[in-house]
Amino acid sequence: MSLGRLVIVGATGAVGREALGILEARGHPAAGIAAVASARSSGAKLGYAGGEIEVAALSERAFEGADVALFCADAETARRWAPVAVRAGAVVVDNSSAFRMDPDVPLVIPEVNGGLVAEAAGPRIIANPNCSTIILLAALNPLRAVFGVERIVVATYQAVSGAGAAAIDELHGQARAVLGGGEARPEVFREPCAFNVFSHDSAVDEETGLNVEEQKLIAETRKIWGDEQVEVTPTCVRVPVVRAHTEAITVTLARSATEEEVRRAIGGGAGLAVIDDRPGNRFPTPLKAAGGDEVLVGRIRRDPGRAAGPAGASRGWCLLVCGDQLRKGAALNAVQIADLAVGSRRARLAAAG
């Protein structure tokens, strides 16, 4: 589906470039894309469909005639410019944290609560959730739909791509330095990321001990599911992986299920692929997920801390999940939201005659 005239804000960043790659693969015409970024990137040229798209500086004129604006920039940029894009008549899909917890802004994973997009008639802002939340709920929503979910305990192992292009460059540079006998000198992160694992680099609340990433997982899960009672216990760490996040999940269902029932529910989940080869010890990995659109689910097993009921049924289940942070965790989810928004707009126009 063509998205009409599309503006990508932050087109030179990691998520912006990924969005361009997705649109190119879908055959979206270059003439229908305006790539904008900060003034220092103005005039840069980005390869697209055998040609180039020139980057323009972000300004009010950039949104004239836009149908959709994909914001792939920071929260400060989104707060300033997203309302400008809406006033120009665009549907804004924002990848930043700026509007996620605004009660008037839908927070959407298309496979989970995509129906909210159709309800959001006309130009407005729709928020893309945090990458870790998208991957977590994409995997768990099929279980919630069938059995209900009461509690989630999750440890995330997050790729450096979540911190942007500069973080990817830092990992590459540090790896070269260490392998050459030197030191890994951190600049983007507080800790060396090469050959290291460390607590997620977001700020830590001194009272609760939760970092910002963990707070997002809790708050966004409750908002997306519309369930303030669901318990979420996250621990978020960075690992020396370029792209694709990994999550180790233990979920408590509202009612017991057998392993066959759990596998059937996950296997039927939209946007999921099961990789669960016990004899071959083959399960999801970041490398398997990198560059793909599906969230990979494996290590499906009963929580060993819970006694099994009849036929091995249990309320507790463990999963290992991997998803590409730059695609389903960001750019792809945003494009999918744009698809729904444009489709619903066209349906309304058609119904109106």
At the top level of CATH, the class of 6-129+330-351 is alpha beta
What is the arithmetic mean of pLDDT over 177-190? Answer: 96
The residues annotated with a catalytic role in the active site are: 131, 245
Judged against a pLDDT cut of 70, whether residue 159 lies above it is answered with yes
Given a cut of 90, whether residue 266 has pLDDT beyond it is: yes
Tokens of 306: 């819970």
Q: How high is the pLDDT of residue 346?
A: 73
Strand order in the sheet with 149-158: 198-199, 231-238, 149-158, 245-257, 314-323, 295-302, 272-274
**Integer Cα distance of 336 and 294 in angstroms:** 13
Q: Return all residues near 83 (Cβ < 8 A) that are at least 6 apart.
A: 125
State the Cα–Cα distance between residues 353 and 344, nearest whole angstrom. 14
Scan for tokens 């990458």, then name that residue: 131
SS (H, E, C) 117-155: HHHCCCCCEEECCCHHHHHHHHHHHHHHHHHCEEEEEEE
Q: Residue 8's beta-bridge partner residues?
A: 35, 70
**DSSP state for residue 90 in the 8-state scheme:** P
Question: What pLDDT shows up at residue 118?
Answer: 84
Shared fold status for 6-129+330-351 and 132-325: no
Count of other CB atoms within 10 angstroms of residue 205: 11
Q: Return the domain boundaries, the chain.
A: 6-129+330-351, 132-325
80 band by pLDDT with thresholds 50, 70 and 90:
very high
Torsional class of 10: left (φ above 0), alpha (ψ -120 to 50), beta (otherwise): left
Q: Are 37 and 55 in contact (CB under 8 A)?
A: yes
Structure confidence at residue 336 (pLDDT): 96
Of 5-9, 48-52, 67-71, 305-309, the one with minimum mean pLDDT is: 305-309
Distance between CA atoms of 197 and 240, rounded to whole angstroms?
7
pLDDT, tens digit, for every residue of 167-183?
999 999 999 999 999 99
Which CATH superfamily is 132-325 part of? Dihydrodipicolinate Reductase; domain 2 (3.30.360.10)
Mean residue pLDDT across the chain: 95
pTM, 2 dp:
0.95
Residue 121 has pLDDT above 70, yes or no: no
Q: Residue 340: pLDDT above 70? A: yes
Instruction: Report the pLDDT value the prediction gives residue 353, as an integer from 0 to 100.
Output: 64
Vertex 161 angle, CA 159 and 164, to 5°: 145
Please, which residues have CB within 8 angstroms of residue 120's CB and are 6 or more apart in sequence?
A: 91, 106, 126, 341
**What is the rounded average pLDDT of the residues 119-141?**
92
120 pLDDT tier (thresholds 50, 70, 90) = low
